[in-house]
Amino acid sequence: MGLFSRQRPRHARRQAEPAAERAEPAAETVETVGPAAETAGRQEAGASAYEPEVVQGEVAASTRGLAKVYGHGDARVVALGGVDIAFEKGRFTAVMGPSGSGKSTLMHCAAGLDAPTAGQVFVGDTEIGALKDRQLTELRRDRIGFVFQAFNLIPTLTAEENILLPLSIAGRKPDPAWYDTVIDTVGLRDRLRHKPSELSGGQQQRVACARALVSKPQIIFADEPTGNLDSRSGAEILGFLRRSVDEFGQTIVMVTHDPVAAAYCDRVVFLADGQIVSELLSPGREAVLETMSHLDEMARARRESLPSGV
Ligand SMILES: Nc1ncnc2c1ncn2[C@@H]1O[C@H](COP(=O)(O)OP(=O)(O)OP(=O)(O)O)[C@@H](O)[C@H]1O
């Protein structure tokens, strides 16, 4: 069965709040339709190894057999052991897993920031391993948005200049109506002339989100975007990311350690030992926590199901 061929019912649109904060009990927030939920259920029972979810819609980015090995000999580390995953357009996906499980490596390879040891990465239909350096730089600039834990704003530029920087580097002007929509959505209209040092952490991250969104990228990769924020500012950022998926059809992939953050997502993918071992669709915080407590067993089942390691 091809990774991108099987169909399953579309998930219900999510609200701009985590499942755990809505009225229904967490267990009922986990969708049980489709192969992923069934597989995740079997995983939790330890019955068999995980099989990748099959996406139904257009794919924004994907990997096939993605492997990354660092070092040699005694220092050899298999950070990713052959990952197949597709990120569907217009979906908010969280990548979770223990420290060292390969989350950042997956994100960096998928975003063209790091080169894999083996396997392929596609952004849309473009295989990024086949691109020359300059083409890869342009792809990252024009088709991918980034939001980092440490905001990564230029301190000497105003909020507005930071937001427009990727477009200015590309020699492009923003679509005025879209720019207005983004600024109003992140609530930054009265802060546009401020430098990052004059903004709170939450406001700086909203600038970073606006910067990622303004060029209408095919996909946004967010690396622990709430990791440096208090829970209220974190909730604002997550609510904003959620809205940009629901209202603007943006595709977002977010690495997070936080089950509350994951509960804002349509899909949560779990890594352990450089392999995807499980996933949940629209889970609540409790379901995320429950799955995280079984990741070691799942990693073992996954290893045993493979013919040999990478
Ligand atoms: N540049 C590197 N050189 C050697 N090993 C590396 C390098 N980068 C990552 N690794 C190793 O690869 C594995 C996966 O690392 P990665 O940073 O992707 O994990 P992670 O899940 O993002 O961890 P964390 O949650 O702690 O950020 C780890 O064992 C890590 O030590």
Pocket mutation for ligand 1, best pick of 68, 74, 105 (most atoms within 8 Å of C-beta): 105
Tell me the sheet residues that pair with 1: none
Q: Which residues line ligand 1 (CB under 6 A)?
A: 70-71, 77, 79, 97, 99-105
Residue 108 CA, closest ligand 1 atom number: 18
Residue 32, both tokens: 């049980």
Q: What was the pLDDT predicted at 298?
A: 82
In this structure, is residue 150 part of a structural domain?
A: yes
CATH number at residue 298: 3.40.50.300
In this structure, is residue 19 part of a structural domain?
A: no
Residue 105 CA, closest ligand 1 atom number: 18
DSSP H helical ranges for 78-199: 103-110, 133-143, 159-169, 176-186
Q: What is the rounded CA–CA span in Å between residue 138 and residue 274?
A: 29
Q: Give the distance (Å) from ligand 1 centre to CA of residue 106.
A: 10
User: Residue 146: which of 227, 58, 215, 83 has the closest Cα?
Assistant: 215
CA angle at residue 82 from 81 to 85, to 5 degrees?
Answer: 125
Question: By alpha-carbon position, which residue is closest to atom 27 of ligand 1?
Answer: 99
Q: What was the pLDDT predicted at 45?
A: 35
In this structure, is residue 18 part of a structural domain?
A: no
Neighbours of 194 (CB within 10 A): 16
Residue 271 CA, closest ligand 1 atom number: 21
Decide: 30 and 289 in contact? Cβ < 8 Å: no
Q: Give the distance (Å) from ligand 1 centre to CA of residue 73.
A: 17
CA angle at residue 67 from 62 to 73, to 5 degrees?
Answer: 170
Average pLDDT over residues 79-104: 96
Q: What was the pLDDT predicted at 6?
A: 31
pLDDT by residue (tens digit) across 11-69? Answer: 444 545 565 444 333 332 233 223 333 333 333 333 345 666 666 789 999 999 999 99
Q: What was the pLDDT predicted at 304?
A: 79
Question: By alpha-carbon position, which residue is closest to atom 29 of ligand 1?
Answer: 100
Please tell me the total count of domains within the chain. 1
Average pLDDT over residues 169-197: 92
Indicate the average pLDDT of the chain.
Answer: 84
In this structure, is residue 121 part of a structural domain?
A: no
Structure confidence at residue 229 as a pLDDT band (50, 70, 90) = confident
Q: What is the rounded CA–CA span in Å between residue 89 and residue 267?
A: 12
Q: What is the rounded CA–CA span in Å between residue 169 and residue 165?
A: 6
Q: Residue type for 230, please?
A: D
In this structure, is residue 264 part of a structural domain?
A: yes
Range of the domain at 275: 27-51+90-112+130-305
Q: Residue type for 11, please?
A: H
Residue 234, both tokens: 């974190």
Pocket mutation for ligand 1, best pick of 69, 72, 96, 101 (most atoms within 8 Å of C-beta): 101
pLDDT by residue (tens digit) across 236-286? Answer: 899 989 999 999 999 999 999 999 999 999 999 999 999 999 999 999 999
Question: By alpha-carbon position, which residue is closest to atom 6 of ligand 1?
Answer: 70
User: Residue 294: which of 50, 68, 21 has the closest Cα?
Assistant: 50
User: Residue 282: which of 12, 45, 22, 25 has the closest Cα?
Assistant: 12
In this structure, is residue 124 part of a structural domain?
A: no
In this structure, is residue 38 part of a structural domain?
A: yes
Residue 106 CA, closest ligand 1 atom number: 18
In this structure, is residue 11 part of a structural domain?
A: no
